[in-house]
Amino acid sequence: MKAEFVNPFLNAILDVLSTMARIDAKPGKPYLKKERTSLGDVSGLIGLTGKQMKGSLAISFTEPVILQIAENMLGEKAESVNDTVTDLVGEITNMVTGGAKRIFSEMGYDFDLAIPGVVAGKNHAITHKTSGQTIILPFHTENGDFFVEICFEG
């Protein structure tokens, strides 16, 4: 997968979390994902389809990270991953994908977005509906880690 398809998502997640949640995230080194098991405790997954390519994005948060994001964005502390937190993961997934879609549009790529789905629970599976390789973008925050998965077929 070309870096030009990774960078819009990297920029979008950093922008959304810094502006909306006041979270400073440090990106790690991208790598290929080999298994379907999620690296986080709650994940948002959204499909993207366009004339040139189709793919999907998943954002997988560990519980401490998403609870801090929820507290920062909603102004109240959640004790565990509940319906409000899973709804928030869906919204973050939408915002990140929307931000990336804008960048892709400027590059000449147009996508339609599906409605995001959210899965919660330890060791849940993430199934991308495309046959391309899945790239993991790991991020670290003071509360722990989260992961962006990008899967495109061209």
- For 50-76, how does the pLDDT look when each residue is reduced to its tens digit (9 = 90+)? 888 788 999 999 999 999 999 999 999
- The percentage of residues in the chain with a pLDDT greater than 90, rounded to a whole number, is 75
- Give per-residue pLDDT as tens, 83-119: 999 999 999 999 999 999 999 899 888 889 899 999 9
Question: Taking each helix axis from N to C terminus, what angle separates 63-74 and 83-106, rounded to the nearest 10 degrees?
Answer: 90
Q: What is the pLDDT of residue 2?
A: 62
Confidence of residue 1 (pLDDT cuts 50, 70, 90): low
Q: Answer yes or no: CATH 3.40.1550.10 is held by domain 3-153.
A: yes
pTM equals 0.93
Buried b (16+ CB within 10 A) or exposed e, 65-102: bbbbbbeebeeeebeebeeebbebbbbbbbbbbebbbe
Q: Kindly state the DSSP code that residue 133 receives in the 8-state scheme.
A: P
Contact 147, 43 (CB under 8 A): no
Q: Tokens 């997968």 label which residue?
A: 1
The residue ranges of every structural domain in the chain are 3-153
- Rounded Cα–Cα distance for residues 113 and 125 (Å): 21
Segment 25-34 shows an average pLDDT of 94
Using alpha carbons, select from 91, 49, 52, 56 the residue that is nearest to residue 70: 91
- Rounded Cα–Cα distance for residues 147 and 150 (Å): 10
Indicate if the pLDDT at residue 123 is higher than 70.
yes
